[in-house]
Chain A
Amino acid sequence: GQQVMQIPQYQHVQEGEDFTTYCNSSTTLSNIQWYKQRPGGHPVFLIQLVKSGEVKKQKRLTFQFGEAKKNSSLHITATQTTDVGTYFCAGGDSSYKLIFGSGTRLLVRP
């Protein structure tokens, strides 16, 4: 079945450093979504990418969708303590189901 792999599993950075998490799907996706989950909380939608090669920005966050629509990345510039949490990618197929990656847990040292 379809699998979505995400790396790294953990990332511990100093406040102000950059952070990147990568997502790879075993199959071509119709779209990819990114969610953030704060410790003890629930996943919250960040963004959806649909087009091949698409790049979207939200303030310090940059999201990319690969040309083959099988991989994606999330890059955070100059991390802040408020960025702490687990970032999940989720690959969508045509059936409106999402397959979630295992997540990257971001820890930020103040």
Chain B
Amino acid sequence: NAGVTQTPKFRILKIGQSMTLQCTQDMNHNYMYWYRQDPGMGLKLIYYSVGAGITDKGEVPNGYNVSRSTTEDFPLRLELAAPSQTSVYFCASSYPGQGLETQYFGPGTRLLVL
């Protein structure tokens, strides 16, 4: 199993540009999450999904959109990039059940908005 994969690893955007961060997991996990991590800070939940076709907002959803058409994929869309969106973005997945909700993280996408 590859686990959780994210592309691209690094991207530079100009203000106002759009992009999609890709996330794929091959563990057949129902739950998927998008976090952002600013330098020296913890992780903030952007959006999450409990299954295909179902998404919900986290703590910091403004400026982002998501979709979940399949169990495996959970892309994150930035429509109008702003410098405040410069961050490292982590995708994670989990399989709730049996009392253990471990989240498995991808390697992250580093985004710089200039």
Contact = CB atoms under 8 A, between A and B. Distances in A.
Contact of A96 (B44, B96, B108): B96
A21 interface: no
Interface in B63-114: 90, 92, 94, 96, 99-108
Contacts, number: 55
Given A42-B106, A96-B31, A1 B50 contact: no
A50 B99 contact: yes
A47 to B, nearest CB: 9
A22 interface: no
Interface in A38-89: 41-45, 48, 50, 88
Contacts of B44: 100
B107 A42 contact: yes
A1 B35 CA distance: 17
A98 interface: yes
B53 interface: no
Nearest to A48: B100
A42 B108 contact: yes
Contact of B42 (A44, A50, A103): A103
A42 B94 contact: no
A88 B43 contact: yes
10 contacts: A31-B101, A33-B102, A42-B108, A43-B103, A43-B105, A45-B103, A96-B31, A97-B45, A102-B42, A103-B41
Interface of B: 31, 33, 35, 40-45, 48, 50, 58-59, 90, 92, 94, 96, 99-108
